[in-house]
Amino acid sequence: MNKYSFLIILFFPLIVFAQKTKEGNIINWSNDRPLKWADFKGTPDATNKQEAAATCTELIITPDNQSKDSIKYFIYAQAVKNKSWKIKKDESDYILKHEQTHFDIAELFARKLRKELSETAFTTKTLNSQVEKIFRKYYKLLEEEQNKYDKETNHSIIKEKQEEWNKKIAEDLISNESFSNPLVVVNVK
């Protein structure tokens, strides 16, 4: 299961769509830093009857530097430790891989967002509204994909589907490797 939240910070005006997390509580997606069971610091949902764990992911976009003809953004897929939870008795490598794939899906959509932003021409007047619109589009697509993933795998219970998703997302990350850098330069006219 995946819990979703997102944060977008832009210039003119400052817009925040999610609560900031405490320093040290977040993990930026990295090929070299997979999730560990120790990252799941949250309290399990008391009404939960099906899931063994849940990974809270966020998409984050923050401006870095602006010149007259471009602006730099950092875009991250993040996991939030204190909002991600597990049921101790259900810890297994298999369940952890299911949760990692949720995190990988978030990174895939961060890459798709980076791609579209880097390939879109913006005007100074409409920059914020255009970036926000594109961000919201990818956030919605991410949420739909996460739900589809859990539905098709029945939260990892259908092993064949789980393997298909693991393979598909790994291949999609590779095919979008050119957008793995969190830094995106957006051209402004």
Mean pLDDT score across all residues of the chain: 88
Exposed, middle or buried: residue 17 (CB in 10 Å: 0-12, 13-18, 19+)? Answer: middle
Polymer length in residues for the chain: 189
Instruction: Give residue-wise pLDDT tens across range 47-94.
Output: 877 789 999 999 999 998 888 889 999 999 999 999 999 998 889 999
- State the number of CA atoms in the 13 A half-sphere of 17 facing the CB: 17
Taking the CA atoms of residue 177, residue 162, residue 81 and residue 172 in that order, the dihedral angle to the nearest 10 degrees is: 10
Rounded Cα gap, residues 189 and 184, in angstroms:
16
Q: What was the pLDDT predicted at 133? A: 96
With a CB cutoff of 8 Å and minimum separation 6, the contacts of 133 are: none
- Higher pLDDT among residues 17 and 113, named by residue: 113
Measured CA to CA, the distance from residue 173 to residue 136 in angstroms comes to 21
10 pLDDT more than 70:
no
pLDDT confidence of residue 181: 97
Least confident of 18-32, 55-69, 79-93, 121-135: 18-32
The residue extents of the domains of the chain are 2-187
Among the listed residues 85, 43, 40, 80, the one whose alpha carbon sits nearest the alpha carbon of residue 59: 80
Query: If pLDDT is split at 50, 70 and 90, which confidence band does 18 have?
Result: very low
Q: Are 183 and 114 in contact (CB under 8 A)?
A: no
Is the pLDDT confidence value at 2 over 90? no
